[in-house]
Every structure is written in structure tokens, then in C-alpha cells.
Homo-oligomer: A and B are copies of this chain.
Amino acid sequence: MTVDPTGAPTTALLTDHYELTMLQAALAAGTAHRRSVFELFPRRLPEGRRYGVVAGVGRALDALERFRYDDAALAALREGEVVDGPTLDWLADYRFGGDVWGYAEGETYFPSSPLLVVEGTFAEAVLLETLLLSIYNHDSAIASAASRMTTAAAGRPCIEMGSRRTHEEAAVAAARAAYLAGFASSSNLAARQRYGVPTAGTSAHSFTLLHDSEADAFRAQVTSLGTGTTLLVDTWDVAEAVRLGVEVAGTGLGAVRLDSGDLGVLAVRVRAQLDELGATGTRIIVTSDLDEFAIAALRSAPVDAYGVGTELVTGSGHPTCGFVYKLVAREGADGTLQPVAKSSPDKASVGGRKYALRRRDAHGVAEAEVIGIGTPPRDDGDDRSLLVPLVRGGEVVGREPLEVARRRHLASREELPVAARSMSKGEPVIETLHVGD
């Protein structure tokens, strides 16, 4: 049985063992089919962060459609004696048939924002826990870091180059999340193929070293890739390489890349040299362990673009968001939907189905994240509702082009108080209010 006409593999084993054993026990107890509401939310922002960015929505919807137990998956579960026969039979027919609402992709978020509200039977909704959390926790961590970097870059393009520093598939998702949060392009070719993310590339030291001289390398690159190419100028002596680059490519040379040393100092020197040589339009691209702080520190330097790698794909100190997926309401023995919550000392949760809006003042500036418990909060006229339908009766209805999410992010960030643009540590820029119930 192939679960997807494009041949994409099933996502149904990208989950935790206990989701399936809980399912088995609930099926046997007759509670598996109770109507349930799960919520995916952050308990807090990473320390010092002013806001977070929702990413992974589109990927989660794709993954949901491919969440089917094919023969190979069922065989693995059977051979491993993970669950019993009746549970395997139930899984063979599994298809999520419930409803999902959520924050639209690119939206900013705050502590307790109900990023996803999943309604279905316990059985069909609990199975999605691990996969939804994996996608949201990763992609949102990257987008949240990326948004700070594009803020710090203040309009200069950021290029995502971190694929080599993270898992090869995480790299593709990271490129997508970075683009969503304002990056201009990525080095990742699979992100181009799958998501239409623009890709760009310069060249590596190995290319220079391959040739018998730097001059040979530059000539080879310019001849094949055109004068608009980006030459890497720090293999040996930067000033000599810049001189050589302009000699080989002419004053129309596209760009030079600096990948080591004191980038601010070097950029000033290289700019002066390029200008003196008449290459006034040649751009300077800097790379080398940049994060949002290094980008901000280079604001006064004559830098034209930032290539960002490690710190982007590792979330700049916060590689995961810590989102959780909790049962907040379920049908009781009497058939009514009842709020539920645990009371563990350091992990208490708020029961009840949530609604959310972004409270804005008369100038459109965000003031608060208002979360309604059990009922939607009242819109004061300038507010903005945050939950949109993503899945209805099992059918994905929330798919949208990545460009739409990209524009949404910029608009949502623009709406925040100016403190959101600060790189320094601080509290979330707006407060979270729980109302109703």
C-alpha cells in the first residue's frame, strides 16, 4: 500500500512508542473515541527573547496528510510487539478526521499562545502529538532566531548557509523557516526544489586550492559563472586577492566574500580598495559564525550581505522552543466536553479550549496576547483574531504559498512595540492575558 501518490514516505512512525500503547489501552477501555481537544503551546519564551515566530505550519499539514500506517509500518509494529492485534487493525484504517485551528504561519507568538487547537477523538488526536511537536519546535526555533537576524540586518540581505551544521533534513526545514522570517535566500538546493526558496552560492576555499594559483581559480570561476559571481578573497592575502579579483573580472565584479578575521575592519579596508580600483558596485559579503549580535555590530561597516550558518540552524542558543501538546478538554462519561488539567507543581496547565486575539491600540500597535478560555475574547475594535482553520473534517484547508507566510511575518513583527527590535535580553514585548471561563 502506497500512502502517497508522489511516493513520499509515511510519517506515521515519526512518533513515540507511548502514543501507540496509550491508544491500545484507551481502545480496550472504550475511552479512545471520546471527543478531545489538544492544544500545542509554549509555556514561556526562551530566556530573554521578546517574541517568537510560528513556523512549520505548512510542513505540519503536509505531514498530517501522510500520516497513515502502511504495510511496512504495521509490520514493524507487529514484529516489535509494540501494540496488539486490535490496535494494529485500527491503525491500518487510521486517517485523521478531526478539525485543527492554529496561528497562521509567520505570525509572532507569546507565552501561552494556543498555536494549535486539535479537536477529534482522543485516539486520532493523541497520535499526532510527537510529529506536530517535532515540526513546530524545530521550525519555530529557527524562524524565531532568523527574525532577530533580519531585524539586526536592517534591510541588508541575509543568506542562509547553515545546512552543513545540522541534520540534513533539518537543514531543508531550516532554510524554509529562515526564508519565512525574512532571509533573502539559502544555500540549500532541496529547499529550492521543495519549497521554492531562492538559492545562492559563492565558492569555497577548496576551489581556490584546487587550482595552481589564486589567479587560475578566479579566472576559472569568472569565465564559467560570469563577472557577477562572488569571489572568496581570504584564502591567503585579502588585499592581493581583491586586487586580483578586479583584475580578472573587471570593475563589474559582483561581490567578494570575507570568511575570517575581523570582519568589520576588513570590510572597511576592502571597500576602500574596491572603490579605489573603480569597483564601486562590487558588493561585500561577510560570513563566519555570525549571529544577530555580530550582524548588529556590523551595522556601521560597509557590508552588503550576511551569510549566516551555525547560529541560524541551531536557533542562536535556543535550538528548540519547548512547545508542549496537552489535552485541555474531553468528553466525559455524560457526553459533554469538560476542561481538564494536571496540577504538577512546576508544569501546571490551564484546562479548557482556547481562543486568541492580538489586542492592538488605536495606532495598530500590539498591546497584549488575549487568550479566551472556553469562549473567544471580545474584540475591542482594533484587535486581530489569531486562530485560523487549518484542517476541517480531516481535510487540509489552511495550505498557502510560503510567500504569503513570509509577508505575514513581516507585518506581524512590524505591529509589535519597538522594543521587539532590541537585541538585548528582556521580557516578552506584550503581556499574555487569560480571560473568560
Contact = CB atoms under 8 A, between A and B. Distances in A.
A36 interface: yes
B134 A192 contact: no
A164 B260 contact: no
Given A223-B29, A235-B342, A165 B320 contact: yes
A259 interface: yes
B28 A224 contact: yes
A210 B34 contact: yes
Most chain B beta-carbon neighbours within 10 Å: one of A34, A169, A192, A347: A169
A13 B207 contact: no
Nearest to A87: B224
Given A26-B220, A187-B16, A207-B26, A173 B167 contact: yes
Interface in A169-224: 169-173, 187-190, 192-193, 199-212, 216, 219-221, 223-224
A25 interface: yes
A92 interface: no
B163 A15 contact: yes
A209 B11 contact: no
Count this chain's copies in the assembly: 2
Contacts of A202: 18
Nearest to A18: B201
Contacts of A418: none
A16 B224 contact: no
Contacts of A225: 21, 24-25
9 contacts: A15-B188, A15-B189, A15-B190, A29-B211, A72-B193, A76-B193, A129-B164, A134-B167, A167-B169
Interface of A: 7, 9, 11, 13-22, 24-29, 31, 34, 36, 38, 63, 72-73, 76-77, 80, 82, 84, 122, 126, 129-131, 133-135, 137-139, 161, 163-173, 187-190, 192-193, 199-212, 216, 219-221, 223-225, 229, 234-236, 259-261, 288, 310, 313-314, 319-320, 322, 325-327, 330, 332-333, 340-347
Given A25-B224, A133-B164, 4 more contacts: A14-B190, A28-B223, A137-B164, A165-B322
Give 6 closest A-B pairs by Cβ, nearest first.
A18-B201, A17-B201, A29-B220, A133-B164, A206-B327, A260-B344
